[in-house]
Amino acid sequence: MAAVALETRYIGAPCVHCGSQERYIKTDKCADCQNKRTRKWYAGNKEAHKVLRDTWRAEHIDEVHRYNDQWRRQNLGRMCAHIIAYNARKRKALPPWADRDAIQRIYEQCPPGHQVDHIIPLRGKTVSGLHVENNLQYLPGVENNKKGNRYA
């Protein structure tokens, strides 16, 4: 079992369904049974979950930003490892014939509110691209995050 914050769960009476004693403080429900119900609902309602998640996120965007900033500050080691791994993947995808100056100019001239995106992702599921100037484009940050690691 993963580490759980002490303020969300407690050990109580055994569940009549599964025998687990771990319960949620707020609802007094069995944590294992509740997690199974949640996973079952999610498996049958992925699109509905996406709508609910996106709606909540839009309504609480400041809270989301605060949480993400706090998480980054508390997990600097993981953030550094992620950035280093990303840069290493980019270096592997940078062929010797690539025009490094052109790539640098593309990053320097990125318009405000936009991000430099790889048209063909460096590590796509079906295809992987190179870190070269003709595989780069400017996308608004929101669009780039929606696109993720996919190639249409």
Sign of CA dihedral 52, 56, 61, 63: negative
Whole-structure pTM value: 0.51
Quote the number of domains for the chain: 3
pLDDT band, very low/low/confident/very high, at 40 (cuts 50, 70, 90): very high
Q: What pLDDT score does 16 carry?
A: 92
Residue 119 falls inside a structural domain: yes
Q: Which structural domain, as residue segments, surrounds residue 16?
A: 7-52
Q: Dump pLDDT digits (tens) for 10-27.
A: 899 999 999 999 999 888
Contact of 120 with 144, CB cutoff 8 Å = no
Please compute Rg for the chain using Cα positions: 22
Residue 1 falls inside a structural domain: no
Average pLDDT, the chain: 88
Residue 2 falls inside a structural domain: no
Residue 27 falls inside a structural domain: yes
- C-alpha 52/C-alpha 47 separation (Å) is 9
Residues whose CB is less than 8 angstroms from the CB of residue 141 and which lie 6 or more positions away in sequence, other chains included: 113, 114, 115
Q: Are residues 79 and 103 in the same domain?
A: no
Residue 33 falls inside a structural domain: yes
Q: Are residues 113 and 152 in the same domain?
A: yes
